[in-house]
Amino acid sequence: MSKFKEINIDHLKLSCSECNLRELCFPHGMKEEELSNLDAVVDQPKPLHKNDFLYRDGERAMAIYAVRSGCVKTMTESANGDEQIVGFHLPGELLGLDGFADGSHTCNAIALETSSVCELPLDQIESLCHRLPGLQKQMRRIMGKEVNNDHKLLLLLGKMTAEERLASFLLSLSARMEERHWKDNEFNLTMPRQDIANYLGMAVETVSRLFATFQSEKIIDVDRRHISILDIKRLRSIVGECE
């Protein structure tokens, strides 16, 4: 890394109305004049480095967050110490809703790579929602989406085979890439195999073997963290979305 890259440009705040993630993020569905109100309270703290915690289980919840760049994983911890990753959050996706229940976070949020986030302080949400009906509606939509996501993951963990899980994971990533107007058939995984395995409720070895199988069947092409989807129909048929 060249020293020149470290010049601090973090204070150059990007306004919500100019953010190209706005349709995926807080601003979705809000009117132009509402956005300036939003801008006024949204903060953009220093970027996180790989493995930095955005927040920790047990910590007082101060804000909800939107990923601006990079990728953040959230994971719950059980009484006996094992962990379950409950989400990988891409740019434009929100996290921190777990703090709504009793004011403290119940999971850890960790950057998978250098990542930046926007934060919406909790103590402002109340009055802001009061003033901006668009935000209140969006908050509900966001929470509903989170619940639906979790339900999909429950179905995955409860009912799918390892093969279906990995196919489902790749399809989900692909769809989210498309939402962001990135290539949906070629992307890099930001997380190690270990994290994929954890998220999908299986062993690393199984993930590795399945990647190899998919590759040999010409469904995907894998090169370390780089994925090319060669046959998306096959992937869909694996998870049962027959056309």
Which residues of this protein are in contact with a copy of itself, per CB under 8 A?
76, 78-84, 86, 97-102, 106-107, 126, 129-130, 133, 136-137, 139-141, 143-148, 150-155, 157-160, 198-199, 201, 239-242
- Residue 212's identity, in one-letter code, is A
Residue from 119, 163, 179, 186 in contact with DNA (CB under 7 A): 163
Point out which residues pair with 52 in neighbouring strands: none
**Is the Cβ–Cβ distance between 61 and 106 less than 8 Å?**
no
Question: Which single residue is written with the structure tokens 């429950």?
Answer: 154
CA distance 5 to 226: 25
Q: How far is the CB of 85 from a copy of itself (least distance, A)?
A: 8
Q: What is the DSSP string of 4-59?
A: GGGS--TTSPPPGGG-TTTTTSTTTT--HHHHHHHHHH-B--PPBPTT-EEE-TTS
Q: Which stretch binds DNA (CB under 7 A): 27-35, 36-44, 186-194, 233-241?
A: 186-194
Angle at which helix 122-131 crosses helix 32-41, to 10 degrees, equals 160
Q: How far is the CB of 172 from DNA (least distance, A)?
A: 18
Is residue 159 within the footprint of DNA (CB under 7 A)?
no
224 three-class SS: coil
Q: Which is nearer to DNA, 47 or 201 (CB)?
A: 201
Q: How far is the CB of 212 from DNA (least distance, A)?
A: 4
Q: What residues numbered 15-54 form the site for DNA, per CB under 7 A?
A: none
CA distance 154 to 26: 26
Q: Which stretch binds DNA (CB under 7 A): 69-77, 101-109, 129-137, 222-230?
A: 222-230
Helix/strand/coil (H, E, C) string of 81-103? CCEEEEEEECCCCEECHHHHCCC
Residue from 33, 205, 217, 241 in contact with DNA (CB under 7 A): 205
Q: Which is nearer to DNA, 138 or 206 (CB)?
A: 206
Question: Which single residue is written with the structure tokens 């062993």?
Answer: 203
Q: How far is the CB of 242 from DNA (least distance, A)?
A: 19
Is residue 75 within the footprint of DNA (CB under 7 A)?
no
Is residue 130 within the footprint of DNA (CB under 7 A)?
no
Element (H, E) at 111: strand 108-111
242 binds, among a copy of itself, DNA, none (CB under 5 to 8 A by kind): a copy of itself
Q: How far is the CB of 74 from DNA (least distance, A)?
A: 18
The residues binding DNA (CB under 7 A) are 161-163, 192-194, 201-209, 211-212, 222, 224-225
